[in-house]
A and B are shown apart, each in its own frame.
Chain A
Amino acid sequence: MKLKLKVWRQKSANDKGYFEEHMVTANEHMSFLEMIDVLNEELISQKKDPVAFEHDCREGICGTCNMVINGRPHGPSKGTTVCQLHMRVFNDGDTIVIEPWRAKSFPIIKDLVVDRSAFDRIIQAGGYISVNTGQAPDGNAIPIEQAVAADAFDSAACIGCGACVAACPNASAMLFTSAKVNHLNSLPQGKTEATIRVQKMVAQMDLEGFGNCSNTGACEVECPKEISIANIAAMNRDYFSSMVGSEESV
């Protein structure tokens, strides 16, 4: 299959970016990233600068890959990261537009590579349970209802890719943040710090310059791990009840 690519090129954060057009020959068994590999091999053979993009596991779990394809974070397939996207969903002759995540809090580093360290800082603000190595009681000391554990797992399945932010018209990080808050706050082990956790993580999220949530639901649609938007409502409940009676705002 022959494809026309319009790829975002940008030398660095301070440079102006632009779309560059390339023709690529691919076959339908390739993954999307293997198709980009073909493009880059071609560019290298012409002694040109290959397109910088990030990827690692290439099986949808590390959260590294990030491209907006024809306007959709991670492309057209549901519940799929870019690296799991296969060329058979495209047709011969298609034009494919490829852009980086666009959000103020994810500055562009080069071409399709962005800086997502804001997510790390949100986790550092409270995305943990304070237990040192060696302090833990026996693993079966606290039974946890199967359904509670399963819900916690579903929230914990987030891969930290940032598609939710890229999908949101306000570049809000609510889906990411709420998934972590709920994973920990719903487990008995995480309850002790529940209040302080939600306050600190939300404060950090705001500090990083992520936008507000206006309930468009775009994040849930594009999330490759299908993290539920119900996480946001649950976090809001935790957050507002934590603020009741609290004099200072955090």
Chain B
Amino acid sequence: MVLENKVPQGKLADKWTSYKSSMPLVAPNNKRRLEVIVVGTGLAGAAAAASLGELGYQVKCFTFHDSPRRAHSIAAQGGINAAKNYQNDGDSVHRLFYDTIKGGDYRSREANVHRLAEVSRDIIDQCVAQGVPFAREYGGLLANRSFGGVQVSRTFYAKGQTGQQLLIGAYSALSRQISLGTVKMYNRHEMLDVVKIDGKARGIIARNLLTGELERHAAHCVVLCTGGYGNVYYLSTNAMTCNVSAGWRAVRRGALMANPCYTQIHPTCIPVSGEYQSKLTLMSESLRNDGRVWVPKNLDDAKAIREGSKTALDIPEEDRDYYLERRYPAFGNLVPRDVASRAAKVACDDGFGVNPTGLAVYLDFAAAIERYGRSAANTKGMDPDKTSKETIIQMGEAVVENKYGNLFQMYEKITGENPYKMPMKIFPAVHYTMGGLWVDYNLETNVPGLFCCGEANFSDHGANRLGASALMQGLADGYFVLPYTVGTFLADEIRTPAFNPNAPEFKEVENDVSNRLNTLMNIKGNQSVESFHRRLGKIVWENCGMSRNEEGLKKGIETIKALREEFYKDVFVPGSADEFNPELEKAARVADFMELGEIMMHDALDRKESCGGHFREEYATEEGEAKRDDGNYTYVSAWSWSDDGNHQLHKEELQFDNVELKTRSYK
């Protein structure tokens, strides 16, 4: 299959503008006759549904949540990037474009990333107009902070709740369209399949989660904004219900899963504390500005800490290994996420882990507290050298509390330990999935009429995403790209009458869905869905997590297959399919995760190089750093699924005309 990316001709910086002005348009009277289904109400979905409604399309919008406002975008903490250059520090569209391409380790499409950087500015304007309460300077202008991997200050934020505020903005725009009648909202409805007619996506089968009833919904085209699939690992920073099913069902109807092996592992999360653990909590990247990462130098000390006979405070300065500062003197504790995560893994693999499970390193604020304390004393006219250590520390803690108080409090709530006195224990955790449905420049999959936005697509982040750019991409897709590019498909459909949901194609797909659910109900085995999900997560984490190798991946594929067989023989789903049944919902999602997990491993096996979040142990430099192979792997991998295991890889070659491919170095 030839993957046509439909990138328009012309100079990089002009492509989007000239494309937009020459794109086929749909006249307002025709828009009213065209129906669009949007699945998902996160930043991408809520923004897309609201904007399409404003343009005059008839929109039906679906979410499995009880309200559009619950989508997982709500949990994003740190901020959203935009090339506004309000700080006058030399930022520009080109710089944001370049940082994103480089941060993605040269595995994303230039034209898409440039467009993202261009529309990033409009996003901030839009959000401010909606009433998003961004942080402001004393003069009343918008404030910015810096994030990892860049040299300018371009991140807009609303305390540690940026995602919440942006989502509430998009939700309010959506609510307005619902009240105007342009969008019909279906809460507690889960899309379980895509319906195609003559090869084009024309509707979905959704399950009403309250009654269990299957419903057929037809439209002229379908847009999936269904989020990321990090929960394939079971433990992640994602919300409990995040899943891959919408995208995966699309793959089973002919769409392609692109770059499934690119997973972002975030270095600073609260470590796993026991087998019962259900999810992991992120501690914002901003902490690495002041926290120093270390483990003991001596294995004996690490062992004593694990056994509880020593604590961090018993380890003298000279016996601590600040390994990031040692290995990466130029960037120190602020190396990018993938690098910091792998370094923590190496330390723990070598036996230096500092919690009972051996899977944690320290993030220590003692030095920062003292430094801030001394400087606070100084500004108060006290001589730091003559001030008591206690006073210095008190003053320093106050400064740190001002900066990170809510994070420290969150940490203490979860762990019961006071991070002002004891260094935090942290460990990397699955956070974001760069992979997703393959889409072209129009955000359309290879199935005509099936579009995909937000984290659910693969489009902009290559092999590694920079902080604060997922919110940007979700809103860019939803507000400023899809509402226009969808016209390239719909302009040819203005004479197509509304589709009949009683058409045989709908009945057939509904039957498939119903059979699938009944299969799950009728296994009546002995093991819970949750227990299978946990086991799946372990397999994917161990074999396709922070580092991968050929042997592990091959083993992983076989183990997943065996687990899948066991699942279909022995899973137990209580209740019935025709009622409110959260266990059945979960079972269907876990079933899809098991297939996705296998494709991830095939993809990781195929990619015989290390890049971004994908680290193959066989392809590393002498010092253990990632080694890309631009000669052979500068492509997007796009997978189709086949039940007999004969999955096909399709390639979209990436072309770099505007940036030079370089090795990322943080030494």
A residues within 8 Å of B by Cβ?
Answer: 12, 27-31, 33-34, 37-38, 41, 44-45, 47-50, 52, 54-64, 80, 84, 86, 88, 109-110, 113, 115-117, 119-120, 123-125, 127-140, 142-146, 149-150, 152-153, 156-157, 159-160, 183-184, 187, 189-190
Contact = CB atoms under 8 A, between A and B. Distances in A.
Interface in B200-215: 210
Contacts of B655: none
A59 B282 CA distance: 9
B130 A128 contact: yes
Interface residues of B, number: 78
Contact of B173 (A113, A128, A145): A128
B67 interface: yes
B75 A61 contact: yes
Contact of B125 (A28, A56, A136, A183): A136
Nearest to B178: A124
Contacts of A38: 276
Interface in B512-557: 526, 528, 530-531
Contacts of B86: 140
Interface of B: 47, 50-51, 54, 65-70, 72, 74-75, 84, 86, 122, 124-131, 133-142, 158-159, 161, 163-165, 168, 171-173, 175-176, 178-179, 185, 187, 210, 239-241, 273-274, 276-279, 281, 410, 413-414, 416, 479-480, 483, 526, 528, 530-531, 572, 574-575, 580, 582-583
B139 A88 contact: no
The 3 residue pairs across chains A and B that have the minimum distance between CB atoms: A143-B140, A136-B129, A128-B172
A129 B126 contact: no
B138 A55 contact: no
B582 A52 contact: yes
A58 B133 contact: no
Nearest to A60: B410
Q: Which of A52, A64, A119, A137 has the most CB of B within 10 A?
A: A64
A107 B17 CA distance: 50
A133 B49 CA distance: 11
B549 to A, nearest CB: 33
A155 B436 CA distance: 36
B133 A133 contact: no
A140 B66 contact: no
Q: Which of A12, A50, A190 has the most CB of B within 10 A?
A: A50
A123 B175 contact: yes
A153 B125 contact: no
A64 B54 contact: no
A176 B161 CA distance: 18
21 contacts: A34-B277, A34-B278, A44-B528, A44-B574, A52-B580, A57-B74, A57-B75, A58-B240, A59-B279, A61-B75, A61-B161, A61-B163, A62-B70, A62-B74, A63-B69, A124-B175, A127-B172, A139-B124, A146-B137, A146-B140, A149-B140
A48 B575 CA distance: 9
Contacts of B133: 149-150, 152-153, 156, 183, 187
Contact of B528 (A30, A41, A129, A189): A41
Nearest to A88: B416
Nearest to B276: A34
A226 B233 CA distance: 34
Q: Which of B128, B171, B173 has the most CB of A within 10 A?
A: B128
Nearest to A151: B133
B580 A50 contact: no
A138 B82 CA distance: 13
Contact of B580 (A57, A61, A113, A153): A113
A190 B131 contact: yes
A133 B483 contact: yes
